[in-house]
Structure 1
Amino acid sequence: MSVATLIQSALGLDRPPVLRPIGEGGEHHSWWVDDHYVARLAPDREAGLRLRRELALRDLIRPYTDVPLPRSAGHGEWAPGCDFTVDTRLDGASGEDRPLSPDGTRQLAALLRALRTIPAGPLAELGVPAGEPIPWQRLAADAEAARHRLDHREPLRAPAPPAVPPVLVHADLKGEHLLVRPDGTLAGVLDWTDALVADPALDVAGLAISVGARAAALIAAGAGHTPETVAAGVFLARCETLIRLDERLRDESDSPLPLLRAQSSRAWE
């Protein structure tokens, strides 16, 4: 069965939809479906499990926040154990291409505040995994070595890692997962397949990389996170951007160099 026929059947359409491949992201095979939907096909059983969990997790989160999340208009299996979903398409540009307004940053703060309040019981029932402890010492050592190779002059200042209870985190708040309207407000947050119950510094770091350290600090403070968590998240972002940029310049990754430089600039502002 072709992808178009599969989606036609899932949505109950009277004709096969027009599909266009989506370039960003590689874990799922993804297409724009006409002008109204996004289709994702999990390539294996593990990705299929994560995709099914994402659908349930979005429904769990939805009552806690006003930030739009995609809804599944149809889902099933395209091969044994390999799931697919056809989600409603949210209008907005990637956060890499369009800045947030003050109202947009307040929306993100409210979302992070909401994630802190979701009880552990339902998350465990959905099988949301617990994140590993952040290896602060190893990360700092790797980042310091990268800093010297890059001749990055601003020193790393490692804060004392805060002892905070784990919360639900998106864990991949990169710019392409933030959809922004022309007025700078948040049109949606995409791709919850990497969500964890983990250190909230992970999401602070993601925001520092995607919207800048200053905005991330304001968002995290507005969400009720402590100054220690904010400092840890910004430090994590700076370590990660140094390491990724260094790997790319040594041809150990194929990530787009302009994107890595932009992310580093935001984390170090």
Structure 2
Amino acid sequence: MALLGEGEDNVAYEVNGELIVRFAKESDPVERATRVTDEARLLSAVAGISPLPVPEPSFTVAELGCLAYFKLPGLPLIDVPAAQRSADGIAGALGELLGALHHLPAERMSDLVSTDDQPKQLWLSEAVDTYSVVVERIPTAHRPVVEAFLDSPPPADEYAQVFSHNDLGIEHVLVDPATWTVTGVIDWSDAAIVDPAYDFGLLYRDLGPAALHQALKSYRSDIHDVDAINARAVFYARCSVLEDMAYGIETGQEKYLEKSLTALKWLYPA
């Protein structure tokens, strides 16, 4: 058994190179058990609609906050060299995934997930606070652009909410480094009813403007305004990159800080 990784919500182990056993870090035993049971139900539901592989529960031990599933093949995209991350096929596949999730009537998933959709003004206020934490690590040339964004009004909160992954950063996307195809999407613990632009914002943050364009091109939604999604995705990307920087600094995980500093080039061009 080997420690696979640890985030804010879970710690995960790999057993015999094939089984992922994950434990929730929630301290309340009732809440911990409920979360694991609900996530197992959620993963089973997502597996039925996702065009990409997702973890399917093997077993749970609810009272321990334990969820186990067989390992999906592939390498986390965050561990791929930055220059090789933005293959069109990867972004296109993720756009198709979001199209499938967002096309599902949100009310069908409301008994499995909650709503996570804060007003944009609150996003901006939190980004201002986070900026004060990370400012010393941001190259001087980018700071005036960041500060101008933080002083600007946020986009309007006018859109139909959807069911989505709600944390579609590149650390949760698995790829085959030989073919550059997506082999799975993991960690659905934050899945929720959200703004359809949010996960596109994370793709833009981590993979850049060409990837966002390709993902939206593959989205093919006849329900949501793609141009409006694009505009809000930029807003989310600019806020969340500061959050990722803070996470990298606080946890000592340099790969989060490195990808965030790279993203400043397109999010806050000097």
1 or 2, which has the higher helix percentage? Answer: 2
Report the Cα distance in structure 1 between the residues aligned to 2:122 and 2:109, rounded to whole angstroms.
Answer: 29
Shift of 1:117: 1.7
Contact 2:43 2:57 in 1 (8 A): no
Contact 2:78 2:255 in 1 (8 A): no
| Corresponding residue number in structure 1 for 2:76 | 94
The reply on whether 1:49 has 2:34 as its aligned counterpart is yes
Does 1:211 find its partner at 2:218? no
Question: What is the alpha-carbon distance in structure 2 between the residues aligned to residue 42 and residue 162 of structure 1?
Answer: 32
Secondary structure of the 2:92 match is: helix
Report matched runs for 1:163-174 at 5 Å.
Answer: 163-174=158-169
- The equivalent residue for 2:104 is 118
**Correspondence 1:197 to 2:179:** no
One-letter amino acid of the counterpart of residue 239, structure 1:
C
Aligned partner of residue 79 in structure 2, secondary structure: coil
**1:84–1:238 distance in 2 versus 1, CA, 3 Å:** same
Output the CA distance in 1 between the equivalents of 2:117 and 2:183: 31
Among candidates 16, 19, 25, match of residue 7 of structure 2: 25
Q: CA RMSD in A?
A: 2.7
TM-score by length of 1: 0.78
The alpha-carbon distance between structure 1 residues 28 and 257, as it changes in their structure 2 partners (threshold 3 A), is closer
Note closer, same or farther for the CA distance 1:36–1:120 as it changes in structure 2 (3 Å cut).
same
- Partner SS, residue 22 of structure 2: strand
Contact 1:210-1:266 at 8 Å conserved across structures: yes
Change (3 A) 1:254 1:28: closer
Q: Does 1:84 align with 2:66?
A: yes
Whether the 8 Å CA contact 2:51–2:100 is kept in 1: the answer is no
CA distance in structure 2 between the aligned counterparts of 1:87 and 1:130, rounded to whole angstroms? 26
Tell me: CA distance 1:41–1:162, structure 2 relative to 1, closer, same or farther (3 Å): closer
Aligned length: 243
Structure 1 segments unaligned to the other structure (5+ residues) = 1-18
Q: Which has the larger radius of gyration?
A: 1
Q: Tell me which of 19, 38, 47 is aligned to 2:20.
A: 38
Indicate the residue corresponding to 2:58 in structure 1: 73
Between the aligned partners of 2:247 and 2:215, the Cα distance in structure 1 is: 30
Equivalent residue in structure 2 for 1:185, among 181, 185, 207:
181
Equivalents in 2 of 1:268, 1:239: separation in Å?
Answer: 14
For 1:148-159, what aligned pairs fall within 5 Å after superposition? 150=138, 151=140, 152-154=143-145, 155-156=148-149
Superimposed CA distance per residue, residues 138-189 of structure 1 (whole angstroms, 9 cap, x where no aligned partner): 4335546738774424342666335111101211112211111121111101
Partner of 1:242: 242
2:94 maps to 108
The answer to whether the Cα contact below 8 Å between 1:213 and 1:266 also exists between their aligned partners in 2 is no
The structure-2 alpha-carbon separation of the partners of 1:144 and 1:27, relative to structure 1 and needing over 3 Å to count, comes to closer
Counterpart in the other structure of 1:259: 256
Q: Indicate if the aligned counterparts of 1:67 and 1:187 stay in contact, CA closer than 8 A.
A: yes
Aligned to 1:133: 118
Which whole-Å deviations, capped at 9, do the CAs of 1:45-78 have from their partners, x for residues lacking one? 323322222221122122322200111222234x
The Cα of 1:241 is off from its aligned counterpart by 1.8
Residue 230 of structure 1 corresponds to which residue in structure 2? 230
Q: Percent identity?
A: 24
**What is the identity, as a one-letter code, of the residue corresponding to 2:123?**
L
Quick one: structure 1 residues 190 and 122, their matched pair in 2 at CA, closer, same or farther if it must change by over 3 Å? same
- 1:64 aligned counterpart, secondary structure: coil
